[in-house]
Amino acid sequence: MGKFSVKAILRTDKILKNGNSPIYLQVIINSVKKTFTLNENVVPKDWDKKNEEAKGKGYKLLNDKISKEKFELERFLRENDLAGIPLSFTLVDNFLKGTNNNDFYAVFDEVLEMKKGEGLAEDTVYKYETLRKRLKNFKAKLFTSDIDSVFITKFNNYLKKLEIGEGGLYNHHKCLKCIINEAIEYKKFKGDNPYKSKKSLKVKSPDHKTVFLEEEEVLKILKFKTTSATMKATKYMFLLSCCTGLRYGDLYSLKISDIDWKNKIISKKMLKTKHIVDIPLNKQIRALLVRFMIQKKPSDKVFPEVSNQVGNRILKKIAEECKIDKEISFHVGRHTFASYLVNNKNVSLPLVSKLLGHRRIANTMIYTNSNVKNLRNVMDVSRYG
């Protein structure tokens, strides 16, 4: 266990231009002494050496700051000492500069590893990793002291420039808020979560309006031709989602070994729920897949790498080319699959729920009223007399 002490002192050996002397924290670690500035100063005659504070009227805020800085540093050193971390003046310097516990990315990684250990779903891990990548692109070096309400607003503006939708914006802020909360709990982040500040940006969860394609719109995309390899891959990934209900994360991670050609079935462990879903391969699904199966090992992924963000941009272009006036994303493919089975083919909800990998049939119920055309037909015959 290391021995340490923290004391507020006035450096009377230093006189500033205004005649005041600077206030320092004197830290002693294992009998070695060093001083660290608090960036504050006071008239020498107003300094109370015994109580380590300024005396007289008008010094309350200054004394509160001195007391708080001293208390926080003592607590920090005590916690590190108890944790078996060697005490050093570098540790003190980093703490006072707001760079303790390394940079925010180190804190982020540490918290994420803890959450993974608690059984965080793989697709949720992907969301956190995407957030980290975009934070890094926005600001390469980021310290915990940099994160305030102003930073959050600037980061939000950056995300908007990337043309991320409302749902994506909400998820990014939700994940960042969660990381900060966990960091505070593990004593890795000083102060309160800036998301709780009245000045902070308020990001609301978007209204969930189920968007899906009609059968003729899916056929338009099926007939769409392009010479771009990335656009082709995106097109077929989306169509496979329309035919199987697989989420983007499950499509992206789909491997050759997940497909049993002999028994004509896809058996995939879903990233979100970690449940295995079995999807029989009909003729149309086999036709979509076969072009991506050539010269690949069982451990290879079926589709080439296309990120969710890039893929969604490409899908918008495809929709424009096909004259489909809807906001299309990979998740629309899943909605289309479910809506088509429920509303067009009258497949029972329990079966659709099983194909989607839903844990509760209530989650599948949203597709029973997603087709306005069907609802209109119902209301047309719902008359008395």
CATH code of 104-196, in short, is 1.10.150
Phi, psi angles (nearest 5°) of residue 268 = -130, 130
Query: Does the pLDDT value for residue 204 go beyond 80?
Result: no
Tokens for 107, please give them: 């804190």
Q: How many CA atoms lie within 13 A of 321 on its CB side?
A: 15
Q: What percent of the chain has pLDDT over 70?
A: 92
What would the pLDDT profile of 297-322 be if each residue is shown by its tens digit?
999 999 998 888 789 899 999 999 99
pLDDT value at residue 307? 83
Architecture of domain 215-379: Orthogonal Bundle (1.10)
pLDDT value at residue 353? 84
Buried/exposed code over 254-287 (b: 16+ C-beta within 10 A; e: otherwise): bebebbeeeeeebebebbeeeeebebebeeebee
315, 329 contact by CB (below 8 A): yes
Distance CA 87, CA 372 (A): 67
Stronger pLDDT, 210 or 337, i.e. the higher one = 337
Query: Does the pLDDT value for residue 99 go beyond 70?
Result: no
Hey, what amino acid is at 30? N
Distance CA 274, CA 272 (A): 6
User: How far, in Å, are 6, 66, 67, 160, 237 from residue 71 at the CA level?
Assistant: 9, 9, 6, 41, 57
pLDDT value at residue 256? 95
User: How far, in Å, are 6, 36, 66 from residue 41 at the CA level?
Assistant: 18, 13, 11
Q: Which of 188-192, 290-294, 377-381 shows the lowest per-residue confidence on average (mean pLDDT)?
A: 377-381
Place of tokens 């329309």: 242
Mean pLDDT of 369-382: 54
311, 231 contact by CB (below 8 A): no
Query: Does the pLDDT value for residue 188 go beyond 80?
Result: no
pLDDT value at residue 117? 77
Q: What is the number of other CB atoms lying within 10 angstroms of the CB of residue 35?
A: 14
Long-range contacts for 5-9 (Cβ within 8 Å, ≥24 apart)?
A: 6/70, 6/73, 6/74, 6/77, 7/52, 7/70, 8/38, 8/52, 8/53, 8/66, 8/70, 9/35, 9/49, 9/52
Tokens for 348, please give them: 């029972």
Query: Does the pLDDT value for residue 378 go beyond 50?
Result: no
Domains 104-196 and 215-379 share a fold: no
Query: Does the pLDDT value for residue 102 go beyond 90?
Result: no
Sheet containing 276-280: order of strands:
259-260, 265-269, 276-280
Tokens for 377, please give them: 């037909």
Tokens for 37, please give them: 């500035």
Listed ranges 122-136, 220-234, 269-283, 366-380; the one with the highest mean pLDDT? 220-234
For every residue of 98-135, which 3-state class applies, written as one string? Answer: CCCCCCHHHHHHHHHHHHHHCCCCHHHHHHHHHHHHHH
Domain spans of the chain, in order of start: 4-96, 104-196, 215-379
pLDDT value at residue 369? 55
pLDDT value at residue 100? 47
> Which pTM was predicted?
0.54
Distance CA 129, CA 127 (A): 5
Stronger pLDDT, 126 or 297, i.e. the higher one = 297
pLDDT value at residue 372? 54
Mean pLDDT of 81-91: 78
pLDDT value at residue 83? 66
pLDDT value at residue 98? 60
pLDDT value at residue 359? 77
Stronger pLDDT, 292 or 211, i.e. the higher one = 292
pLDDT value at residue 303? 93
pLDDT value at residue 361? 78
The helix-helix angle for 60-82 and 89-96 (nearest 10°) equals: 140
What would the pLDDT profile of 10-69 be if each residue is shown by its tens digit?
999 999 999 999 999 999 999 999 999 998 999 999 999 999 999 988 899 999 999 988
Distance CA 337, CA 331 (A): 10
Contacts of 203 (CB under 8 A, 6+ apart): 156, 169, 170, 173, 174
pLDDT value at residue 133? 93
Contacts of 177 (CB under 8 A, 6+ apart): 193, 195
